Amino acid sequence: MIKREREVLKKVVLTSLTILFFLGQSGTVYARSGQSSPQVIEITYDEAQELMTIASIEAGNQGVEGMRHVMSVVLNRASDEGDIWPDNIHDVIFQPHQFATRNWKKAEITVEAHLALAEIEKGNVIPDIVAFETKNSDALDKYFDEAFEYKNHKFYVKKSTKCTNL
């Protein structure tokens, strides 16, 4: 019974979240990257698919919240005014050595990724976080300040930024 309910939920979620994109429109997201006011980012259908795919790859075992965290990292990088990261979602995701894109073609977008995107589209982007790694690593500690941990990931902010809101 649970498997059947999950499949029904998946169909409902997929239909309701993607119909807007199939009509050729884009979604609006408010990404807050250490700025005094939110920056509006338009997300195309392809970018939404890329966000959900990378979230499924990087945080597939972390649930909706973990996937929302990964999507927030991508959006905060794309909206960052510095020159560290590209200024669009696609190029942030495919910037060399940043995300696990080697499994891209095999990745399946999960129901949880759709739900995480729905949270992101409501403006629930976690501000300031720009990097993450597994808890058993400390490779990013010299470049960023640790903001918080979620399940088996550590999330980071720029050295000069404090994470203001979870």
| The two three-digit tokens of residue 80, written as one number | 């960052």
- Which helix (H) or strand (E) segment holds residue 90: the answer is helix 89-93
Average pLDDT score over residue span 143-147: 90
* The pLDDT value given to residue 92: 95
Q: Is the pLDDT of residue 155 over 80?
A: yes
The residues spanned by each domain of the chain are: 2-129
Q: What do you get for the CA distance between the two ends of the chain, in Å?
A: 35
- Quick count: other Cβ atoms within 10 Å of Cβ 107? 18
Cβ distance 157 to 145 under 8 Å?
yes
pLDDT in tens, 5-43: 555 555 444 444 444 444 444 555 544 444 445 566 778
Cβ distance 48 to 29 under 8 Å?
no
Mean pLDDT, the chain, as a whole number? 79
